[in-house]
Structure formats: structure tokens, C-alpha cells
Copies of this chain bind each other. A is one copy, B any other.
């Protein structure tokens, strides 16, 4: 018996649902697929089908129990079982990212940061930061599944190669560089340009009406 892998689209929507549902006032007990859909600008049947995939159903007339739905989405997205990660490049974006991981519980367990610093120190959020030379030794002691890249464009490929050389099989690329990885490694790149392009087209469409 194999469950079909969830679609990329569904995986993108679920965290958005989650953010919205969590943003509701604490007094909210129930949330219907219909309301969720209209708040986020999706079709109601789409949301209903999505929710059907990840939970065991709501109550007619009432909708879903908010806390149960949060739990079910988090369960589906594996937010409860931690995935270990290290980040290369500790400044700016990575700090803001650690904020995010500490505040939202996404199941990402960020263990350490590595950068050009010569001495071990800690960020305000308690993330230990080591010199990049120590990456290899560190990865031998801990089982790391995701390597996050947050260095400037020019050094991104080098950082990527280094992480892979340490035995890491999954790269999350937050730099604006194009990266090449061997076929046994999973790569997910974020691209600000895509999001911006979409926004600008929406603006253009509005002003042309």
C-alpha cells in the first residue's frame, strides 16, 4: 500500500493555511473551509479537498475544530519529528531565519551555524557559531540532514560543495546563486525574483484595467 505523494501545490498551501489559522484570535474555536477559503482568496472546494486529505473531517454546519486542524496540518507536514540542520553563513538573513524557526515550530532543528569567524560564539537566540573549518568534524559527530546556504552569491557553490562533502544529502539554498548538485542530493532553492515578478505583474494588471 503506498499513499500517493502530496502535490507540490498542496505542500505550498498548507503552511499558508497554518499561518492564517494560527493568526486567528484565541477565542476562535471553529473554522470552516468556506471561511478559510475566502480569507485567503482560494476556492472553497479546493480548500475543502485539501483539508479532507490531511484531516479526518469537520462537522457539518460548524466546520473544523481550530486546534485539531492545526494539529493535523502540523502532523501532515511532519512538524513534530525534527529534521536536523546546519546553516552556512551567519548574518542577516540567517539571523532572521533562526528567529523564524524559533518562533514557529516547523520541525527544523537548527543545530549550528558556520561562518568565517575565528572564535566560537553564540547568536542572541542561542545558536552556536563555529568557524567554517570545523564543519567537517561537526558533521561527523552529529547526524545532519539539511544544509542551509545563506552566504553571498559568489561563495554559495563552494559552501554547497563543502556541505555535500560532509555527507549532507539535502541543500536549502537561500542565496541568489544557481547551484549544481550531484544526483543523489536534493536541492531546494528559493528565488526572490519569482515572488517579485508575480507582484509586479499583479500591479501592472491592476493599473491597466
A residues with a Cβ closer than 8 A to B are: 5-6, 8, 11-16, 18-20, 23, 77-78, 83, 91-93, 95-97, 99-100, 103-104, 106-108, 145-146, 152-153, 169-170, 172, 176-178, 186, 188-206
Q: Chain A interface mostly helix, strand, loop or mixed?
A: helix
User: How long is the Cα–Cα vector from A170 to B188 in the complex, in angstroms?
Assistant: 28
> Is there an interface contact between B193 and A172, defined as CB atoms closer than 8 Å?
no
> Is there an interface contact between A78 and B200, defined as CB atoms closer than 8 Å?
yes
Closest Cβ neighbor of A95 among chain B residues: B92
Partner among B8, B83, B152, B201 whose Cβ is within 8 Å of the Cβ of A6: B201
B contact residues around A96 at 8 Å (CB) = 91-93, 96
Contact A170 B103, CB 8 Å, known A188-B198, A197-B14: no
B contact residues around A176 at 8 Å (CB) = 19, 100, 103-104
